[in-house]
Amino acid sequence: MTTVPKLIEHELLHLQIPHFRFGDVTVFNETSIDLVLKGWTGLVGRSGVGKTTLMRCLSGLECLKTPLKTVLMTQNDQLLPWKSALDNVAIADLLTGENPDYNRASRLLINVGLRGYENALPHHLSTGMRQRVALARTLYQKADLVLLDEPFGALDPLTREELYPLVKKLLADKTVLMVSHDPQEIMRLSDRIYLMAGKPAHLYYLDYPITGQTPRALTHPFVTRYASDLVDQLQGSW
Protein backbone atom coordinates (compact mmCIF):
# COMPACT_ATOMS: atom_id res chain seq x y z
CA MET A 1 0.00 0.00 0.00
CA THR A 2 1.40 3.40 -1.02
CA THR A 3 1.54 6.05 1.69
CA VAL A 4 0.54 9.51 0.46
CA PRO A 5 2.66 12.25 2.10
CA LYS A 6 0.63 14.63 4.20
CA LEU A 7 0.61 18.13 2.77
CA ILE A 8 1.58 20.90 5.17
CA GLU A 9 -0.90 23.74 5.80
CA HIS A 10 0.19 27.14 7.13
CA GLU A 11 -1.27 30.40 8.37
CA LEU A 12 -0.46 33.12 5.85
CA LEU A 13 0.30 36.86 5.89
CA HIS A 14 -1.11 38.60 2.81
CA LEU A 15 0.92 41.55 1.51
CA GLN A 16 -0.32 43.77 -1.30
CA ILE A 17 2.66 45.21 -3.18
CA PRO A 18 2.06 48.49 -5.03
CA HIS A 19 3.20 49.50 -8.50
CA PHE A 20 6.91 50.42 -8.36
CA ARG A 21 9.01 52.43 -10.78
CA PHE A 22 12.76 53.01 -10.77
CA GLY A 23 13.37 56.11 -12.86
CA ASP A 24 11.54 55.55 -16.14
CA VAL A 25 11.39 51.77 -15.72
CA THR A 26 8.39 49.99 -14.21
CA VAL A 27 9.97 47.20 -12.14
CA PHE A 28 6.68 45.58 -11.17
CA ASN A 29 3.01 46.39 -11.39
CA GLU A 30 0.72 45.93 -8.43
CA THR A 31 1.06 42.36 -7.20
CA SER A 32 0.73 40.39 -3.98
CA ILE A 33 2.37 37.64 -1.95
CA ASP A 34 1.22 35.38 0.88
CA LEU A 35 4.02 34.71 3.34
CA VAL A 36 4.03 31.72 5.68
CA LEU A 37 3.71 33.07 9.22
CA LYS A 38 6.57 31.68 11.33
CA GLY A 39 7.74 29.75 8.29
CA TRP A 40 9.80 30.18 5.12
CA THR A 41 8.57 31.49 1.77
CA GLY A 42 10.99 31.02 -1.11
CA LEU A 43 11.27 33.40 -4.06
CA VAL A 44 13.02 32.60 -7.34
CA GLY A 45 13.42 34.50 -10.59
CA ARG A 46 15.92 35.28 -13.31
CA SER A 47 18.70 37.79 -12.64
CA GLY A 48 17.54 41.37 -13.14
CA VAL A 49 13.83 40.63 -12.77
CA GLY A 50 13.53 42.77 -9.62
CA LYS A 51 13.87 40.39 -6.67
CA THR A 52 16.30 42.58 -4.74
CA THR A 53 14.18 45.67 -5.45
CA LEU A 54 11.18 43.81 -4.05
CA MET A 55 13.14 42.89 -0.92
CA ARG A 56 14.16 46.51 -0.46
CA CYS A 57 10.54 47.56 -0.81
CA LEU A 58 9.43 45.04 1.80
CA SER A 59 12.23 46.12 4.13
CA GLY A 60 10.94 49.71 4.05
CA LEU A 61 14.00 51.06 2.23
CA GLU A 62 11.85 51.94 -0.78
CA CYS A 63 8.08 52.12 -1.06
CA LEU A 64 6.32 49.66 1.23
CA LYS A 65 5.84 49.25 4.95
CA THR A 66 4.75 45.85 6.24
CA PRO A 67 2.72 45.27 9.43
CA LEU A 68 5.72 43.45 10.91
CA LYS A 69 9.06 44.80 12.11
CA THR A 70 11.43 43.83 9.31
CA VAL A 71 15.15 43.22 8.85
CA LEU A 72 17.08 42.49 5.64
CA MET A 73 20.05 40.09 5.49
CA THR A 74 22.01 39.93 2.23
CA GLN A 75 24.66 37.75 0.58
CA ASN A 76 27.22 40.47 1.33
CA ASP A 77 27.62 40.37 5.12
CA GLN A 78 28.15 44.18 5.20
CA LEU A 79 30.24 44.00 8.37
CA LEU A 80 32.10 47.18 9.26
CA PRO A 81 35.79 46.21 8.90
CA TRP A 82 36.99 48.43 11.77
CA LYS A 83 34.44 47.05 14.25
CA SER A 84 34.72 43.84 16.27
CA ALA A 85 32.32 40.96 15.78
CA LEU A 86 30.53 42.03 18.98
CA ASP A 87 30.14 45.63 17.79
CA ASN A 88 28.94 44.45 14.38
CA VAL A 89 26.19 42.41 16.03
CA ALA A 90 25.03 45.44 18.01
CA ILE A 91 25.65 47.93 15.19
CA ALA A 92 21.99 49.01 14.93
CA ASP A 93 22.15 50.45 18.44
CA LEU A 94 25.58 51.97 17.92
CA LEU A 95 24.46 53.77 14.78
CA THR A 96 21.36 55.22 16.46
CA GLY A 97 23.14 56.24 19.65
CA GLU A 98 21.38 53.64 21.80
CA ASN A 99 23.19 51.75 24.55
CA PRO A 100 24.05 48.35 23.03
CA ASP A 101 23.15 45.20 24.95
CA TYR A 102 26.54 43.53 24.75
CA ASN A 103 25.45 40.63 26.96
CA ARG A 104 22.73 39.76 24.47
CA ALA A 105 25.08 40.30 21.51
CA SER A 106 27.61 37.95 23.12
CA ARG A 107 24.94 35.28 23.69
CA LEU A 108 23.92 35.51 20.05
CA LEU A 109 27.52 35.03 18.91
CA ILE A 110 27.66 31.93 21.10
CA ASN A 111 24.37 30.72 19.59
CA VAL A 112 25.80 30.95 16.07
CA GLY A 113 28.94 29.06 17.10
CA LEU A 114 31.37 31.96 17.55
CA ARG A 115 32.24 31.76 21.25
CA GLY A 116 35.61 33.43 21.77
CA TYR A 117 35.43 35.57 18.63
CA GLU A 118 33.76 38.58 20.22
CA ASN A 119 36.78 40.86 19.66
CA ALA A 120 37.78 39.51 16.25
CA LEU A 121 37.78 41.94 13.32
CA PRO A 122 35.99 40.81 10.13
CA HIS A 123 39.21 40.26 8.15
CA HIS A 124 40.26 37.64 10.71
CA LEU A 125 37.10 35.61 10.05
CA SER A 126 36.29 33.17 7.26
CA THR A 127 33.41 33.89 4.88
CA GLY A 128 31.21 31.43 6.75
CA MET A 129 32.09 32.97 10.12
CA ARG A 130 31.33 36.45 8.81
CA GLN A 131 27.91 35.26 7.66
CA ARG A 132 27.32 33.87 11.16
CA VAL A 133 28.06 37.32 12.57
CA ALA A 134 25.57 38.76 10.07
CA LEU A 135 23.00 36.22 11.27
CA ALA A 136 23.61 37.21 14.89
CA ARG A 137 23.20 40.88 13.88
CA THR A 138 19.90 40.01 12.20
CA LEU A 139 18.64 38.25 15.34
CA TYR A 140 19.79 41.14 17.54
CA GLN A 141 17.30 43.45 15.83
CA LYS A 142 14.30 41.42 17.10
CA ALA A 143 12.40 41.62 13.81
CA ASP A 144 9.34 39.48 13.10
CA LEU A 145 9.84 39.42 9.32
CA VAL A 146 13.31 38.41 8.13
CA LEU A 147 14.20 39.02 4.48
CA LEU A 148 17.06 36.83 3.26
CA ASP A 149 18.49 38.00 -0.08
CA GLU A 150 20.81 35.21 -1.29
CA PRO A 151 22.16 34.70 2.27
CA PHE A 152 24.11 31.55 1.39
CA GLY A 153 25.21 32.54 -2.10
CA ALA A 154 28.84 33.31 -1.22
CA LEU A 155 29.35 30.15 0.85
CA ASP A 156 30.91 26.84 -0.17
CA PRO A 157 28.63 23.76 -0.16
CA LEU A 158 29.93 22.34 3.13
CA THR A 159 29.50 25.65 4.97
CA ARG A 160 25.96 25.88 3.59
CA GLU A 161 25.16 22.43 4.97
CA GLU A 162 26.42 23.54 8.39
CA LEU A 163 24.38 26.76 8.34
CA TYR A 164 21.05 25.43 7.03
CA PRO A 165 19.96 23.70 10.27
CA LEU A 166 21.42 26.49 12.42
CA VAL A 167 19.58 29.25 10.57
CA LYS A 168 16.35 27.25 10.53
CA LYS A 169 16.61 26.71 14.28
CA LEU A 170 17.43 30.33 15.15
CA LEU A 171 14.71 31.74 12.88
CA ALA A 172 12.08 29.18 13.92
CA ASP A 173 9.70 31.81 15.33
CA LYS A 174 10.21 34.30 12.47
CA THR A 175 8.38 34.90 9.21
CA VAL A 176 11.06 34.49 6.54
CA LEU A 177 11.14 35.43 2.86
CA MET A 178 14.23 34.06 1.10
CA VAL A 179 15.51 34.85 -2.39
CA SER A 180 17.81 32.24 -3.92
CA HIS A 181 19.09 31.33 -7.39
CA ASP A 182 19.54 27.71 -6.30
CA PRO A 183 16.42 25.60 -7.02
CA GLN A 184 17.54 22.84 -4.68
CA GLU A 185 18.08 25.35 -1.87
CA ILE A 186 14.58 26.74 -2.39
CA MET A 187 13.12 23.23 -2.35
CA ARG A 188 15.02 22.26 0.79
CA LEU A 189 14.21 25.31 2.90
CA SER A 190 10.81 26.63 1.77
CA ASP A 191 7.27 26.00 3.00
CA ARG A 192 5.79 28.00 0.09
CA ILE A 193 7.35 29.07 -3.23
CA TYR A 194 6.88 32.00 -5.62
CA LEU A 195 8.29 32.75 -9.06
CA MET A 196 8.97 36.37 -10.05
CA ALA A 197 8.76 36.82 -13.80
CA GLY A 198 7.89 39.23 -16.59
CA LYS A 199 8.68 42.82 -17.52
CA PRO A 200 7.16 44.47 -15.52
CA ALA A 201 7.51 41.64 -13.03
CA HIS A 202 4.70 39.76 -11.32
CA LEU A 203 4.68 37.20 -8.51
CA TYR A 204 3.32 33.74 -9.34
CA TYR A 205 2.53 31.20 -6.63
CA LEU A 206 3.90 27.74 -7.51
CA ASP A 207 1.43 25.23 -6.13
CA TYR A 208 3.84 22.41 -5.31
CA PRO A 209 2.63 19.65 -2.95
CA ILE A 210 5.15 20.57 -0.27
CA THR A 211 5.90 17.86 2.29
CA GLY A 212 8.55 17.13 4.91
CA GLN A 213 10.29 19.14 7.60
CA THR A 214 12.98 21.62 6.66
CA PRO A 215 15.82 21.67 5.96
CA ARG A 216 15.01 18.73 3.68
CA ALA A 217 17.83 16.43 2.63
CA LEU A 218 19.11 16.61 -0.94
CA THR A 219 17.66 13.14 -1.40
CA HIS A 220 14.21 13.99 0.01
CA PRO A 221 11.54 12.90 -2.52
CA PHE A 222 10.06 16.41 -2.74
CA VAL A 223 13.47 17.89 -3.58
CA THR A 224 14.45 15.25 -6.13
CA ARG A 225 11.04 15.33 -7.84
CA TYR A 226 10.40 19.07 -8.14
CA ALA A 227 13.80 20.85 -8.29
CA SER A 228 14.08 20.12 -12.02
CA ASP A 229 10.54 21.43 -12.56
CA LEU A 230 11.55 24.67 -10.85
CA VAL A 231 14.47 24.96 -13.28
CA ASP A 232 12.00 24.55 -16.14
CA GLN A 233 9.80 27.26 -14.64
CA LEU A 234 12.78 29.62 -14.50
CA GLN A 235 13.85 28.85 -18.07
CA GLY A 236 10.41 29.69 -19.39
CA SER A 237 9.79 32.69 -17.16
CA TRP A 238 10.44 35.59 -19.57
Query: Reduced to 3 states, what is the DSSP secondary structure of residue 176?
Result: strand
Q: Percent of the chain having pLDDT more than 70?
A: 93
Position 26 scores a pLDDT of 86
pLDDT tens profile 81-96? 999 999 999 999 998 8
Q: How far is residue 57's CA from residue 16's CA, in Å, rounded to a whole number?
A: 12
Per residue in 168-222, pLDDT (tens digit) is: 999 999 999 999 989 999 999 999 999 999 888 899 999 999 999 999 999 999 9
Output the pTM of the full model. Answer: 0.90
Helix (H) or strand (E) holding 233: helix 221-235
Question: What would be the CATH architecture of the domain defined by 12-235?
Answer: 3-Layer(aba) Sandwich (3.40)
The residue-averaged pLDDT of 135-162 equals 90
Q: Of all residues in the chain, what percent carry a pLDDT higher than 90?
A: 61
For the cut 70, the answer to whether the pLDDT of residue 62 exceeds it is: no
